[in-house]
Chain A
């Protein structure tokens, strides 16, 4: 789960990591007032669930409150498109107004999960404020990585090595050691996949400060953090994605016209691959999970049909232990409820598959049966062609 920059900064601040003074605003008037409070000269930062905001015009230094207000009016009114949002962009509902800080040096600092070592690792670089992936590709020697043993945790001497490698000296170096240890503490206590400060800066007056922050929570740890759902900004999510989430379904919007309902992520990706192979373009991707139930199938079907781009539906369920007649009933129930007349191709496998097929064929729906993965994909593409 993603959260906004200002929320990430609130968390870091609670763990003793210095961040710039700032206020979150919901209207352009509030932005103006906040700008006055910061002394006129300040940074206006659009809050969206994507990076690359600077390139999209979502982060700007302004010199007086009126200018901040003008910029805010413009940002609140449109969808911000950045290299990471896709062409549709994301709507700006909140703006962070921060004091302008005189920066002497910029660094990159993050803690994230490393699958290969099955541990958290600390990543640091003296090349801050830029795309860290680019640095990693062009000059990997400028990136310092430290794998953290969960038994010992991150030790001060290890953090010091990193701070020294960044070229920090004296008291700033010791400040950085403390900051790194606090970052690790935040990562564990808040159950994060990623905590990232980019850039971490040294100000001209010699203080460390997190100028931008990104946190990604581990959804699986939600049961330990009752406050997380309240932090979610629904304006940043697709409404259908939100609906799907309520039923524990995973929905992703794509560009084509075939709605896809599949159980399991691997099979779902393989289904997209095979549709492309036959010349089809998926409109979305709905994963009902490995053990699909009748209710889930019915809800999933309704969500798919709410997408106006959908001109036909391909259902690919490898039920395994799940009974196919039950899945068929779920489809028939949902399609009937929303009066679906679109072409449907169903490919099912599992027990009672013949009974399931029979139910579908007798349902009066515009449905065909796919005998296997390839046959099903070919049929739906032909029905739409």
Chain B
């Protein structure tokens, strides 16, 4: 078991004919993901790298039985691509696209309420169940199958965390990058709830950043519901206030969203917080031994 993805997941790629869409499709397939279809409007009927391409998601699902979508569609059409995936009855869409306007995402997110499809992202590294399936742009080689669930708002910092976990001998059940945008699909709590019920996951590592209140919200949920040990790291302890640190997500405004506050709340709620980004793996190990 694992969450969201397993070796039987059948993946279609929306925007497969774009440069990065195709590159990452190949990378995912090399890792072992079952890529069954591609979707690019106007290019239906061709094969690319042996993968059949369809005009619509609905068609692709009908002919291939795909249940997961990986989205590389450019920003102006990306929100529409998400909704198309939901309408076609997929279980999961992982949207890698960076730069979708907030107004589009507010509406898309609202339409997803009440639909069964889960959305991860946008602007995220994706989801990987090590040794089984990869739907995203993360480097596969740093991962190792195991018992730690990883959930993160960051991209490359997640790779750093995963590498440290692997180095201390802790493999991962599933790693989920939820993305750093203001409007996202699954939030920390949604992923934590799945890890809580997953028999394969024994503990969780969570990576947060300054800005917003999602980490505090997650901390309280962990205190009230989580049956497994949780360790965390919050980036941005030394970030200057009021500046946008490269992401739409990471900004401190009006004294809200500071790292110290997040660390305090997490600690109060029983989460083991890594004191330094060099000690993420070690902190997870310590949390397991308690």
Chain A residues with CB under 8 Å of chain B are 84, 113, 115-116, 118-120, 133, 136, 149-151, 188, 191, 193, 218, 220-221, 223-224, 250, 252, 254, 262-274, 276-277, 285, 287, 290-291, 318-321, 349-351, 372-374, 377
The one of B27, B106, B154, B246 that contacts A150, using a Cβ cutoff of 8 Å = B106
| 23 A-B pairs in the complex with CB atoms less than 8 angstroms apart | A84-B242, A115-B183, A116-B214, A119-B110, A150-B110, A250-B246, A252-B243, A252-B246, A265-B246, A266-B152, A266-B157, A266-B235, A267-B156, A270-B277, A272-B236, A273-B238, A285-B246, A287-B246, A320-B137, A321-B137, A349-B163, A350-B139, A374-B276
Contacts of A320 in B (CB 8 A): 137-139, 142, 156, 159
A318–B276 touching, CB < 8 Å:
no
Which residue on A lies nearest to B107, using beta carbons? A150
A119–B157 touching, CB < 8 Å:
no
Contacts of B226 in A (CB 8 A): none
A273–B237 touching, CB < 8 Å:
yes
Contacts of B142 in A (CB 8 A): 320, 349
In this complex, how many residues of chain B approach chain A with their Cβ under 8 Å: the count is: 64
B277–A223 touching, CB < 8 Å:
no
Bound CA–CA A351/B238 (angstroms): 30
Contacts of A119 in B (CB 8 A): 106, 110
Which residue on A lies nearest to B139, using beta carbons? A320
Mask of B162-174 contacts with A, CB within 8 angstroms, 1/0: 0100000000000
Chain B: minimal CB distance from A308 (Å):
19
Which residue on A lies nearest to B213, using beta carbons? A116
Instruction: Pick from A218, A276, A320 the residue with the most CB of B within 10 Å.
Output: A320
Which residue on A lies nearest to B125, using beta carbons? A290
B209–A265 touching, CB < 8 Å:
yes
B110–A151 touching, CB < 8 Å:
yes
B240–A254 touching, CB < 8 Å:
yes
Which residue on A lies nearest to B208, using beta carbons? A266
A290–B235 touching, CB < 8 Å:
no
Known contacts: A115-B212, A269-B209. The answer to whether A263 contacts B255 by CB under 8 A is: no
Known contacts: A277-B276, A290-B125. The answer to whether A285 contacts B245 by CB under 8 A is: yes
Contacts of A272 in B (CB 8 A): 236, 238-239
Known contacts: A116-B217, A268-B245, A277-B276. The answer to whether A290 contacts B156 by CB under 8 A is: yes
Chain B residues with CB under 8 Å of chain A are 20, 24, 27, 75-76, 98-103, 105-107, 109-110, 125, 137-139, 141-142, 152-160, 163, 180, 182-184, 207, 209-210, 212-214, 217, 233, 235-240, 242-243, 245-250, 254-256, 276-278
A220–B102 touching, CB < 8 Å:
yes
Bound CA–CA A377/B101 (angstroms): 36
Bound CA–CA A265/B248 (angstroms): 10
B213–A270 touching, CB < 8 Å:
no
A373–B246 touching, CB < 8 Å:
no
Contacts of B250 in A (CB 8 A): 265-266, 269
Bound CA–CA A250/B246 (angstroms): 5
Contacts of A270 in B (CB 8 A): 157, 160, 233, 235, 277
Bound CA–CA A351/B141 (angstroms): 9
Contacts of A252 in B (CB 8 A): 240, 243, 245-246
Chain A: minimal CB distance from B196 (Å):
21
Contacts of B247 in A (CB 8 A): 265-266
Contacts of B138 in A (CB 8 A): 320
Chain A: minimal CB distance from B275 (Å):
9
Known contacts: A224-B101, A265-B247, A272-B238. The answer to whether A113 contacts B155 by CB under 8 A is: no
The one of B101, B212, B214, B240 that contacts A220, using a Cβ cutoff of 8 Å = B101
Known contacts: A220-B101, A221-B102, A221-B103. The answer to whether A265 contacts B278 by CB under 8 A is: no
A269–B160 touching, CB < 8 Å:
no
B160–A318 touching, CB < 8 Å:
yes
Contacts of A113 in B (CB 8 A): 102, 106, 182-183
Contacts of A276 in B (CB 8 A): 237-238
A351–B139 touching, CB < 8 Å:
yes
The one of B110, B158, B277 that contacts A273, using a Cβ cutoff of 8 Å = B277
Bound CA–CA A82/B74 (angstroms): 40
Bound CA–CA A116/B239 (angstroms): 23
The one of A221, A250, A263 that contacts B101, using a Cβ cutoff of 8 Å = A221
Bound CA–CA A268/B256 (angstroms): 20
Instruction: Pick from B76, B139, B249 the residue with the most CB of A within 10 Å.
Output: B139
B156–A263 touching, CB < 8 Å:
yes
B139–A321 touching, CB < 8 Å:
yes
Nearest 6 CB-CB pairings of A with B: A266-B154, A264-B156, A266-B157, A265-B246, A320-B139, A374-B278
Bound CA–CA A223/B249 (angstroms): 21
A373–B160 touching, CB < 8 Å:
yes
